[in-house]
Amino acid sequence: MAPYKGIHLTFEKKPAALLPTAQLTDVKQVVLPFAYPTAAPVSPSVFLYDTLRRGTPLSEVEGEPFSVMRSSVTGVVCGEKTVNHPLYGELHCAVIDCSSDTGDEVAVPEDHLVTTESILEAAEKAGIIDELDGVPLVLKLREFQETRIDFVVGDAVEVQPYASSAWATLRSYAEEVLDGLSLAAACAGTNGYHIAACLSPSRRRSLSLRVGKERFFKADSRYPVKEPVRRGRKNGGVMVSKNAVVRRVGVQACLALSRAVRLGEPHTTAIVTVAGDAVKSPQNLQVPFGTSVQELLTRCGLSCDPETLILGDIMTGVASLTQDVPVLPGMTCVLAFAHRPTKLESPRACIGCGRCVRSCHAGLLPFEIYRRFENMHDEQLAALQAHRCDGCGTCSYVCPCNLELTATVLEAGRADNTILLDLKEDTDA
């Protein structure tokens, strides 16, 4: 019943998607937080001048072992610093000088009997974070265990213009990704595990040959992606009913899960797309966590001093004011632009074209929320349910009047109907 929703964005994935993934192994220094942001008490377990191996936990968190960060490199702790990360907030971090010894702290599984409990244990020990939403994978798998799931889908859809890290992961490690997905599906107690991607026909064919045609779902290329499957229809020959319960897992997390369970390896690297018009050679890089973004940009080469640095893809990414930001799980794209990606003019009044309503996949009225919020009409705002917004940015993208709809709707949703009224006395009363 709902009319067309979503927009088509022009892809700028070449040449990054075409080049092979480069490995960044000669990183000199990494900055890693002791733990992910958590309310539980954190006690660091490594100190200055301690030698670390890849996988050594940096701290202990009471009651939340999945919040612990593990060292992504072998090296020596040479300091501590506080980093204001654009995505994670304020983080207390350890600075680690990398050494060339590649010894790992791995827990090689004793036997090859894989059970749900062993999968969960391996995911927790490896410290895997799902790059799609930043949730620890072990929490997701526990939820899979407890609820009835019909399909576990490896989400490699990537309909934003620049990111191609999921494709790079699949290109290099498709079989391992599928193995990781099967392990996640085993936790969920289902045999329905598939990879969903939006690819050209030739790439789709080559991937189908490797993972099997029935394991591949073709996804729509409209942004934003509400769900990677099309309900009530056959996806890759498999019927997904309207009531089927579908859960998404990131492909890099699946890869990490496969390695953790089969080889006992910790989750220490990420594949990041580095692109943008200020980057000389855009490409996908596999880097250890904690590598600074500056290092990534130096490796790819900068044609000029960038004015805009975006962590994430261009629609939902956060602009960073410094290049000195460590790569952490959840960061799959770094964009550097010489100027602003789009030269913004000053906002005009809403002309009522209705494009924001047509393109909102959450079914909201962005123009009305904007109007009510600007006029501080508190009582109407609650009825408009601004908290349903997920910040996809489509409304601001399509607006011909350059209104900051996304930011306003998000703020209205966060304000939770308590708008501070700026009371002024009228001079001519």
Rule CB under 8 A: say whether 421 interacts with other proteins. no
CB of 315 to other proteins, least distance (A): 4
Please pick, from the candidates 29, 172, 208, 316, the single residue that binds other proteins as defined by CB under 8 A. 316
- Quote the Cα angle for 419-422-424, to 5°: 155
Determine if 143 is a binding residue for other proteins (CB under 8 A).
Answer: no
Answer whether 300's CB lies under 8 Å from 287's CB: no
Burial annotation 148-159 (CB, 10 A radius, 16+ → b, else e)? ebebbbbbbbbb
Choose the stretch contacting other proteins; rule: CB under 8 A; options: 16-24, 254-262, 280-288, 391-399.
391-399
Query: What is the bridge-based pairing of β-strands 193-197 and 151-156?
Result: parallel
Collapsing DSSP to helix, strand or coil, 288 comes out as strand
Q: Return the number of the residue (258 or 406) whose C-beta is nearest other proteins.
A: 406
In the complex with other proteins, the residue whose CB is nearer, 40 or 351, is: 351
| Residues 293-312 contacting other proteins, CB under 8 A | 305-310, 312
Give whole-number Cα distances, 178 to 111, 127, 231, in Å: 21, 20, 22
Scan for tokens 């080469």, then name that residue. Answer: 301
| Amino acid code (one letter) for 364 | L
Taking the complex as a whole, the smallest distance from the CB of residue 413 to other proteins amounts, in Å, to 15
- Contact with other proteins (CB under 8 A): which of 280, 340, 377, 414? 340
Residue with tokens 């460590």: 326
- Under rule CB under 8 A, residue 342 binds other proteins: yes
Strand partners, 144: none
* Distance of alpha carbon 337 from alpha carbon 99, whole angstroms: 33
Of 46-54, 121-129, 170-178, 338-346, the segment contacting other proteins by CB under 8 A is: 338-346
Contact 192, 238 (CB under 8 A): yes
Does 427 help bind other proteins (rule: CB under 8 A)? Answer: yes
Closer Cβ to other proteins, 74 or 320, answer by number: 320
Residues in touch with other proteins (CB under 8 A): 1-3, 9, 161, 305-310, 312, 314-323, 337, 340-344, 348-358, 363, 365, 367-368, 380, 383, 385, 391, 393-394, 396-402, 404, 406-407, 424-428
